[in-house]
A and B are shown apart, each in its own frame.
Chain A
Amino acid sequence: MDILKDVRVVDFTRMLAGPYATRLLADFGAEVIKIQCGKTAFGGEANDTAYFRTWNRNKRSITLDMTHPEAREILLRLTAVSDVVMENFSPRVMSNWGLAYDDLKQVNPGLIMVRMSGMGQTGPWRNMVAFGSTIQSLSGITSLTSYDKEEPLGPGQAYADHVAGIYGAIAVLAALENRDRTGQGRCIDLSEYEAMCTLMGPALMEVLVNHQDPVPHGNNADYVSAAPHGCYRCRGDDQWCVIAVSNETEWEGLCHAAGHGEWLADERFANIDARKDHHKELDPLIRAWTIEQRAHEVERLLQEAGVPAAVVKNAEDLADDPQLRARDYFVRLKHPILGEDVTDTNPFTFKSFSTSRWKASPALGEANQYVFLDLLGLSEIEFSDYRKRGIIA
């Protein structure tokens, strides 16, 4: 099960995008050594917060104050016995520490380095400060995830951080594949802004090829051909069900399930294009039906009739979702100090997959002994000297 057990990762990443990438690697057995420091372990990087615990399970933690000149030598020794270095600082930070890829390569010629910054290592915006939601605004997904042009809203979570994170993990695995074949290391420049833009491809091509600027349209179908295609209020407080009809068989299914066979004879709704044109008349009719039903009843009736439909689930619904439970999507991890953590696993599974060896997130510097003494061979005296002088801190 520990597919990546022979892969050691030096992890400088912070917050979400980078830690999500290294979490994906740690979940499958990579030894991820997170470089922390008492001075910077606060906010989303404080080891006891729920946020930190979620994104840093299965990792080790050491403390090393990188602003101290002697930390560099220790870090180079660690790099020499590792496979991958990951970081998500502004472009100049690593080179300011004398830890550019060329420096790291000196001690480890096969090293893989993945640099995950907001904007990438080059270009006029390379030093820009950006978070996931900033990048969403820049990439166009915020303006298009809206009911109309007047009020841009965007996704209600830092989606771009996950996107960059998965891409980061893909980069590591592809570079490992290459290293296993050729012995060569690589330095990969990954821009979160561009990562998000790759997922806006068809919209960008509307501009680049067709010279059209797409506008937001709520929950109407984006590029698939479908109508009705929307989110309808159901009985109860803030209860909703989505319905997507992409062919005439599904349309018939919907009309019969809703008990409105007469819609089939209505010319305004005769085919997808007609229903798109008349969605302002059709949507209230559907809503008049759904508002009388429970969302799960609408979902069941429509799915039985072969129509794609789903309850809009909130966090509590997801935690209790029978499908997710049946698939062991959530896992409980015992934390030695903080009790139990419940977190999601990953959206893919396979026969030999198991979470039995998963561990909760590390305490600050939990692996100092292991890394500095066992792995790097510092003597007890050296170790306590570094501690006294605030380098291992």
Chain B
Amino acid sequence: MVEPEKNNKGFLSGIKVLDLADEKASFSTKLLADMGARVIKVERPGGDSSRWVGPFWGGAPHCERSLSFCYHNMNKLGITLDMEREAGRDIFLKLVKRSDIVVESFLPGYLTTLGLDFECLSRVNPRLILASVSGFGQKGPRRGDKSCDLVAAASGGQMFVSGSPMKSPLKSFGEQAYYTASLFAAFGVLLALRMRRQNGRGEHLDISLQESVASTLEHVMIRYFHDRIIPQRQGGLHWNNLFCILPCRDGHIHMTPFERWETLVGWLKSEDMAEDLHEQRWHDPAYRLKNIDHVLSVFRRWTKTHTRGELFELAQLMRFPWAPVHSIKEVANSDHLKERGFFVDVEHPIGGVPLKCPGPLFRGGLHLKKARKGAPLVGEDNVVVYQKELGITEKEYERLLSIKMI
């Protein structure tokens, strides 16, 4: 393996980012911060609304105890600023002048009403890259519609194909539309940086939550465009019937009911559990598919006699891509993840003990070697940014504080 970076800089050191985003896109700037970019989170006085997104450290809601805020904003600096007032806008433009990237997730048009749309920002800094994440995008008839993770999951097509055919469509757990949009935003920003290197100009990236979901549907649109099939919900059974989820003695196993049929049935037979599946007619894949309910019920009787661990271990030895269906607790206790050092400690001023969270993904020197800092407290870096960097005098700073501008 490659030796880690000698210093603690990361690949994007020197890149300056202003993060105006709430929970819809703050993960995108976390990725940039983890890779060494200097990210300043700009929150309204009192703190961003995403500080009230759970879960909360210790359980009770508190603006400095949101674990999701801590996770999405680690390695960032934090300042507060009222951009809805003239003086706040002027301060913001000073920051824009010194920055490479701004990421925002307001309703389309909001920045225009503040006089801070891309054209205005470009006039101040022609090299600025603006990434805008919104429910439906900056253009189109639905640009003004309200969105959230649930609305994106529905309008982007994920829900319709998830869940049981007998029940309602089902949203993926845990604000996945926001994460997906954030990943695309980070990719887009890096692309725009490269474009800027070529032509010297910034760009306005328009990222849609609806499209972010629609872009991660794997088989769904392919089958529609090529075969005119409208994929339906089929519970724990994979769309191509390659995988299904069956109960075990201690939970559920994710297994392949049709792969290498003879090996699999031989396995059941060795335990006297194959019932009629060894009969010749079941050799025909089309027949198996037609009678899938019977096949699965035989498998179900068999898997129920085993633990997940027994099945998982033997299946992997035979190169079947099976896996236990893990609870989050089991993921957090995974020996594999521990050995790879996936979970890291991040210092956090509240509580006195470091927070444990998933670490940066890439191995090979792309990231900061060690987390630089925890997520900022409300206005934690006001003095550093306003006084030291923008050169605002202490007296003026006190005045801005007193009128709640910062």
Residues of A within 8 A of B (CB): 3-4, 16, 24, 28, 50-51, 54, 101, 119-125, 128-135, 137-147, 151-159, 161-163, 166-167, 169-171, 173-178, 180, 186-191, 193-195, 197-210, 212-214, 216, 218-219, 221-226, 229-233, 240-242, 244, 246, 303, 306-319, 321-324, 326-327, 329, 341-344, 346-352
> Which parts of B340-374 form the interface with A (CB within 8 Å)?
340, 342-343, 355-358, 361-366
A-B contact pairs, 17 of them (CB 8 A): A24-B187, A141-B176, A147-B164, A151-B164, A157-B161, A159-B218, A190-B362, A193-B336, A201-B71, A201-B358, A206-B328, A310-B152, A314-B160, A318-B221, A323-B141, A347-B211, A348-B185
State A164–B53 Cα separation when bound (angstroms): 26
Q: Are B321 and A131 in contact (CB under 8 A)?
A: yes
CB distance from B379 to the nearest CB of A (A): 23
The verdict on B188 contacting chain A, using a C-beta distance below 8 Å, is yes
Q: Are A187 and B1 in contact (CB under 8 A)?
A: yes
Contact stretch, chosen from B83-91, B143-151, B264-272, B382-390: B143-151
Contact stretch, chosen from B109-117, B132-140, B294-302, B398-406: B132-140
> Which parts of B84-105 form the interface with A (CB within 8 Å)?
none
Name B320's contact: one of A129, A200, A240 (CB within 8 Å).
A129
State A214–B326 Cα separation when bound (angstroms): 12
Q: Are B170 and A186 in contact (CB under 8 A)?
A: no
Across-interface contacts of B324 in A (CB, < 8 A): 137-138
Name B35's contact: one of A142, A145, A174, A207 (CB within 8 Å).
A174
Residue on B with the closest CB to A161? B218
State A35–B147 Cα separation when bound (angstroms): 42
State A265–B277 Cα separation when bound (angstroms): 61
Across-interface contacts of B287 in A (CB, < 8 A): none
Known contacts A170-B31, A210-B55: does B2 contact A101 (CB below 8 Å)?
A: yes
Q: Are A347 and B214 in contact (CB under 8 A)?
A: yes
CB distance from A359 to the nearest CB of B (A): 17
Across-interface contacts of B355 in A (CB, < 8 A): 205, 208-209
The verdict on B332 contacting chain A, using a C-beta distance below 8 Å, is yes
State A214–B331 Cα separation when bound (angstroms): 12
State A119–B342 Cα separation when bound (angstroms): 12
Q: Are B328 and A204 in contact (CB under 8 A)?
A: yes
The verdict on B125 contacting chain A, using a C-beta distance below 8 Å, is no
Q: Are B162 and A145 in contact (CB under 8 A)?
A: yes
With A191-B361, A323-B136 given, name 8 new contacts (CB 8 A): A122-B1, A142-B254, A146-B170, A152-B325, A155-B176, A315-B160, A323-B210, A348-B185
Q: Are A157 and B190 in contact (CB under 8 A)?
A: no
Residue on A with the closest CB to B355? A209
Q: Are A153 and B358 in contact (CB under 8 A)?
A: no
Q: Are A322 and B141 in contact (CB under 8 A)?
A: yes
Among A147, A209, A232, A313, find the residue whose CB has the most chain B CB atoms closer than 10 A.
Answer: A209
